[in-house]
């Protein structure tokens, strides 16, 4: 049985991922949200995830209050830490554990203008704060990107994680 850790499990995407993984008896699913782990704290993330030792780490946690991020420097710092630095911390732990890391990012990374190469085309402050996600390929992970502009929840929820 493979151990799956879903971070951001209470958000819209996280809830759907939990539902899908729990239907498959080949996976033992552990769900964490901000109340159980602060992935912006590298030492805490490393300690807790190493102790769990999952085979798959799914990061569905993200800061997505784009308007606040654009207006408030403190909110921008939160976004930079959660969307930018935390994926790098998770990548380091995953590499050490030889675990698969699946990281979902905000669509605000992309400008929506295909003629502008990324990352130069990153949109606004919230997009620029995710540039630290470059940690992931630097650590030797294969990187694939899928841009999804929005999610349609199967359940009646508006909460994002």
- Report pTM: 0.76
31 band by pLDDT with thresholds 50, 70 and 90: very high
Residue 80 inside a domain? The answer is: yes
Share of the chain above pLDDT 70, in %: 65
Is residue 134 domain-resident? Answer: yes
Is residue 143 assigned to a domain? no
Residue 105's CATH number: 3.40.50.720
Domains contained in the chain, number: 1
Quote the CA–CA distance of 102 and 135 in Å, as a whole number.
14
Q: How confident is the model at residue 123 (pLDDT cuts 50, 70, 90)?
A: very low
Query: Worst-scoring range by mean pLDDT, 15-19, 51-55, 63-67, 137-141?
Result: 137-141
pLDDT band at 68 (very low <50, low <70, confident <90, very high): confident
Burial string for 9-40 (b: 16+ CB within 10 Å, else e) reads bbbbbbbbbbeebeeeeebebbbbbbeebebb
Q: Is the pLDDT of residue 115 over 70?
A: no
- Per the domain annotation, does 64 fall within a domain? yes
In a domain, 41, yes or no: yes
125 within some domain: yes
Question: Where does 8-72 have alpha helices with state H?
Answer: 12-23, 42-52, 66-71
- Do residues 126 and 108 make contact, with C-beta atoms less than 8 angstroms apart? yes
Is 60 domain-assigned? yes
Structural domain containing residue 75: 2-138
* pLDDT for 36: 97
């Amino acid at each position: 049985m493979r151990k799956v850790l879903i971070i951001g499990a209470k958000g819209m995407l996280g809830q759907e991922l939990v539902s899908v993984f729990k239907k498959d008896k080949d996976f033992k699913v552990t769900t964490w949200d901000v109340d159980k782990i602060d992935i912006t704290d590298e030492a805490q993330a490393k300690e807790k995830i190493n102790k769990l030792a999952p085979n798959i780490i799914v990061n569905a946690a993200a800061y997505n209050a784009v308007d606040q991020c654009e207006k408030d420097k403190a909110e921008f710092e939160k976004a930079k830490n959660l969307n930018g630095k935390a994926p790098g911390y998770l990548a380091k732990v995953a590499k050490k554990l030889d675990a698969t890391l699946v990281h979902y990012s905000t669509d605000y990374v992309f400008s929506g203008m295909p003629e502008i190469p990324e990352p130069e085309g990153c949109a606004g402050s919230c997009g620029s704060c995710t540039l630290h996600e470059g940690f992931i390929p630097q650590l030797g992970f294969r990187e694939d990107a899928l841009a999804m502009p929005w999610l349609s929840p199967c359940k009646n929820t508006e909460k994002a994680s």
